[in-house]
């Protein structure tokens, strides 16, 4: 239930239970304990109104992140953050499915369902992430072969699962690449390992979800119930009961909700 509400991942919450940080009606929680109506739940001695987590329907937004925004709730440097660009939730909070660094634009999935987010991010799921990359100069066939076979980075072996040339004129060339890992700055670091300069990077797909062409910077699209069912199936989770119809598309102007 707490994972569903975005309080933490299942693994984190299990650790909190082992550390005695959760209480039901004043007693420490054990793994396998169940909540029932009227139970008084505390996490780190703070009351959690857990009933709301059960009542809320799952929502998933496709947000077109521009460069210059950071995927965090607060930024000490005062840079714009993606969560201030999203509609306010009365219950729980938006959870980003993976991250994009400040200089990477494109598709960012956000949801209020923590369990769905964790399932889509878990390394065992090996979800494909596809990026459109603009690079400077020409790239040899031997370099492309090395990037597909695997190169040693500071945090281990990494590779592109697929590379496709998408054209370009003059000094700039476009490629679409696919990775199945969420390591920090992985796409940039792979190109840079071959002394290739990346001048633009945009995520265009996460698993089965593709960035809609009509979705402009700072705008978001909300998945319909049918699309949610398909995403739950992809994540290996049972679909939820249907709720009221959702609007399919919402534009957003920076600074407003």
Given the residues 18, 39, 101, 162, select the one marked as catalytic. Answer: 101
Concerning whether 225 is annotated as a catalytic residue, the answer is: no
Residue pair 103/213 in contact by the 8 Å Cβ criterion:
no
For residues 91 and 56, what is the distance between their CA atoms, to the nearest angstrom?
A: 7
For β-strands 41-43 and 249-250, DSSP reports them as unpaired
Supply 243's token pair. 């709720």
Using CA of residue 94, residue 99, residue 165, residue 173, what is the dihedral sign? positive
Q: Which spans in the chain are helix H?
A: 10-18, 51-55, 114-121, 141-149, 186-192, 225-234
Those residues whose C-beta lies under 8 Å from the C-beta of residue 211, and which sit 6 or more positions away, are: 62, 64, 106, 107, 202, 203, 204, 205
For residues 114 and 100, what is the distance between their CA atoms, to the nearest angstrom?
A: 18
- Between the alpha carbon of residue 153 and those of residues 58, 183, 191, 193, 248, the distances in Å are 38, 11, 11, 8, 41
Token pair 């975005």: residue: 6
Which residues are known catalytic residues?
101
């Amino acid at each position: 239930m707490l994972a569903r509400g975005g309080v933490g991942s299942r693994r984190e919450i299990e650790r909190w239970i082992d550390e005695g940080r959760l209480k039901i009606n004043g007693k420490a929680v054990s793994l396998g304990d169940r909540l029932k109506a009227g139970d008084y739940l505390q996490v780190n001695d703070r009351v959690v109104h857990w009933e709301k987590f059960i009542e809320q329907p799952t929502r998933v937004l496709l947000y077109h992140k521009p460069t210059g925004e950071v995927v965090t709730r607060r930024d000490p440097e005062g840079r714009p953050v993606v969560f201030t660009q999203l509609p306010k939730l009365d219950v729980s909070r938006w959870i980003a499915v993976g991250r994009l660094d400040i200089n990477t634009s494109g598709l960012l999935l956000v949801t209020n369902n923590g369990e769905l987010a964790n399932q889509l991010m878990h390394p065992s799921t090996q979800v494909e992430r596809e990026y459109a990359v603009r690079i400077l100069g020409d790239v040899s066939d031997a370099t492309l072969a090395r990037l597909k076979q695997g190169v040693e980075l500071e945090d281990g072996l990494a590779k592109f699962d697929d590379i496709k040339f998408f054209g370009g004129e003059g000094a700039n060339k476009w490629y679409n690449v696919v990775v199945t890992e969420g390591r920090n700055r992985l796409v940039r670091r792979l190109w840079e390992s071959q002394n290739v300069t990346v001048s633009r990077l945009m995520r265009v797909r996460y698993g089965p979800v593709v960035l809609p062409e009509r979705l402009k910077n700072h705008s978001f699209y909300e998945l319909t119930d049918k699309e949610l069912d398909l995403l739950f199936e992809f994540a290996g989770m049972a679909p939820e009961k249907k709720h009221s119809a959702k609007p399919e598309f919402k534009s957003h102007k920076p600074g407003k909700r």
